Structure 1
């Protein structure tokens, strides 16, 4: 893994789960991690309920746009985290792959999306502790 690891979050539409995870990773890890997100079948816009749920947590993802998953994005990443995209993600040797089983927030109410958001936050916090812990003085 590089000094600044790159994490790619992938879900089908790149409109909910992967955008929320990317938002948390950017907010919590800052410049210690490079963050990418993409979808195997991206939507035209971010799920407005996901935007609202993240805004409640103080994170603005409203300006983001869904992006299509590319082989280059996977190749450039140290960690690839999939969220229900099945076999759409190419596999490269030497990468760390995780599959986070998360409910799809598409079409769900705010209460459901809040639960998904909170689950994502705890997973992102654990990921940061593993790949980009805060340096302590020696």
Structure 2
């Protein structure tokens, strides 16, 4: 039986910062009511440690996550595909909703620069949950 939850895929090139923070927020704010994926066209070896630190500051631990390679299958099984302003070439499938969130890249940035990116992602994830009719948890 297919998963009845809406599914969201976050995509950016390295799958090490923005897309991982967005996935962390969505898991946290949806309380498991949304199936969450993230991937990148050229995944990094590891997550951006400053992105991990920024998320830990708000009580969300993404340390166990690993950058994943973007596949057509991941796109095809997702209801919403969110690219992170990095011009990723995403396969297009009918019936899938696509959004592009223009966000600064946290790569190479210090924590002071990454916090506003983290907070902007939280606001966008909360808005997405509202559009999906999924109540956001505190």
TM over 0.5: yes
CA distance in 1, matches of 2:88, 2:28: 29
Number of aligned residue pairs: give it.
134
Cα gap change, 1:97 to 1:108, in 2 (>3 Å):
same
Question: Shift in Å at residue 31 of structure 1?
Answer: 1.9
1:81 alignment partner in structure 2: 82
1:38 aligns with 2:39: yes
1:126 alignment partner in structure 2: 127
Unmatched 5+ residue regions in structure 1? none
TM-score w.r.t. length of structure 2: 0.93
CA distance in 1, matches of 2:88, 2:42: 13
CA distance in 1, matches of 2:132, 2:93: 19
Question: Shift in Å at residue 79 of structure 1?
Answer: 0.2
Query: Which SS does the other structure have where 1:125 is aligned?
Result: helix
Deviations 1:26-81 (A, max 9, x none): 00002210000000110000000000000001000011000000000000100000
Q: Which structure is higher in helix share?
A: 1
1:104 alignment partner in structure 2: 105
Question: Shift in Å at residue 87 of structure 1?
Answer: 4.3
1:21 alignment partner in structure 2: 22
Whether the aligned pair in 2 keeps the contact of 1:40 and 1:85 (CA below 8 Å) is no
CA distance in 2, matches of 1:128, 1:112: 25
Whether the aligned pair in 2 keeps the contact of 1:53 and 1:113 (CA below 8 Å) is yes
- Structural mapping, 1:37-76, within 5 Å: 37-76=38-77
CA distance in 1, matches of 2:95, 2:132: 15
Question: Shift in Å at residue 132 of structure 1?
Answer: 3.5
CA distance in 2, matches of 1:73, 1:81: 12
CA distance in 2, matches of 1:43, 1:55: 20
